[in-house]
Amino acid sequence: MSKLKTAFFCQQCGHESTKWLGRCPSCGSWNTFVEEVQEKKGTAVRDNWKPASSGNQKFVSLQEISAQEEDRWITPDAELNRVLGGGIVPGSLVLVAGEPGIGKSTLFLQDALQLPAVRTLYVSGEESEQQIKMRADRIGLQHENFYLLTETDTQTIFQEIKKLRPQLVVIDSIQTLRTPFVESAPGSVSQIRECTAELQRFAKATRTPVFLIGHITKEGSIAGPKILEHMVDTVLQFEGDQHYIYRMLRTVKNRFGSTAELGIYEMKENGLRPVANPSELLISEKEEPLSGIAIAATLEGLRPMLIETQALVTPSVYGTPQRTVNGFDLRRLQLLLAVLEKRGGFQFGLKDVFLNIAGGLRVEDPAIDLAIITTLLSSYEDVPVPHNYCFAGEVGLSGEIRAVNRIGQRIAEAGKLGFEKIFVSRFSRKALDPAKFNIEVVMVARVEELYRQLF
């Protein structure tokens, strides 16, 4: 008998080597190489979901292909439609990853149950049929076109697919599947790569959308080789703090739409509820004005949102001042504090600074800088900012307030929510007409000017 072909794979990044290495030359991880059998010889037939009469593909000229808009399935979940770029594309392969217990299985179980006209096959390698039935009863949705399969062998799954002919397939999860053509444990680099390749061939050949639910590592990256993210059409990240009721579905990669979209859900007892207007939920109700609070007009993809920023500035008791942030970049906070010290003369070097983005969100929009500056000064002076003021602007190193993109959309959202005044950069006046908004637009050029107007 011929000797089986083996290789060593890094379990962190998927780098392949002919011999064992102590340190991965690709990602730098130590002791992550594992020997795996690359391919198992056998009599099984690949792609047994294909009909017997399927012919071979042939090359085609680019001019012979008719250009037409890709048809999409519009689901009842508006947030899922948003992050996918307008709906589910037939034949697409979508990977969804997130923390354990964040609600990945619940989200796609309820989305599949909301499509009674679509014949769906839900493949679970982690839960029994009774567990999925209990979750469906808790959600309160069911229909006759929804089918369950608890199996981890890909060839068995394809045999059932050939009999059922589903229009939508959900795999929970890709790390539990195994193919008989690779002799290694489920979840290994070789197994994940080969199982994904089989599902990719099935999705493209039959134009059946396939959703893959994936695990993440303790570092927060998607478990498995990096090539997994390259093989799929769309990568979605499902995130959120388990101590908050909000969950965010972010687009990391999308071949059919923008990668800057964000879907927001609210965790309820009966499942996840899409949040149509997150601004009203992310701004807390206060009976009296408090210092250290300012509202920022930010954008997540094409969606404008108003979020609450909170800061606490106190004298430093210990020798080294503390800098603690939640939902914001710590290095960006240090930069803004340096600007306030250099350009405004405020002694933040002797203060402890604590910063929080309300609602458990993490924001990377540079337009939030102006609100962060305002909330720091408010807590420093212990003077509250009026609750009907909001801010949108980027702060430069010389203390200037720079213009941000789509400022008109931010102003319109603030006016819709009842704010009376919004502070923006003076350099934005070429891109907007303040007279057409039902909110007063205040233009400032420098941090010192902002301080004089507010405090």
Known binding residue 87? Answer is no
Report how far residue 394's alpha carbon sits from residue 407's, in angstroms, rounded to the nearest whole number: 12
349-352, long-range: CB < 8 A, 24+ apart? 349/321, 350/315, 350/316, 350/321, 351/313, 351/314, 351/315, 351/316, 351/321, 351/380, 352/312, 352/313, 352/314, 352/315, 352/316, 352/317, 352/321, 352/322, 352/323
The separation between CA 330 and the C-alpha centre of its own chain, rounded to angstroms, equals 21
Beta bridge partner(s), residue 146 = 120
- Per-position DSSP letters for 41-57, written without gaps between them: --S--S-TTS-TT----
198 annotated ligand-binding residue? no
Annotated binding-site residue? 301: no
H/E element, 425: strand 421-425
> How is residue 60 written in tokens?
């085609």
Is there a binding annotation on residue 186? no
The verdict on whether residue 104 carries a ligand-binding annotation is yes
Alpha-carbon dihedral angle through residues 72, 73, 75, 79, given to the nearest 10 degrees: -20
The enclosing H or E element of 341 equals helix 330-344
Q: Which two tokens stand for residue 406?
A: 């789509």
- The reply to whether 344 sits in an annotated binding site is no
- Burial (CB count within 10 angstroms: exposed 0-12, middle 13-18, buried 19+), residue 169: buried
Instruction: Confirm or deny that 5 is annotated as ligand binding.
Output: no
Question: What is the distance between the alpha carbons of residues 35 and 10, in angstroms, rounded to a whole number?
Answer: 9
Check whether 103 is labelled as a binding-site residue. Answer: yes
Which residue numbers belong to the known binding site? Answer: 98-105
Which residue numbers belong to the known binding site for ATP? Answer: 98-105
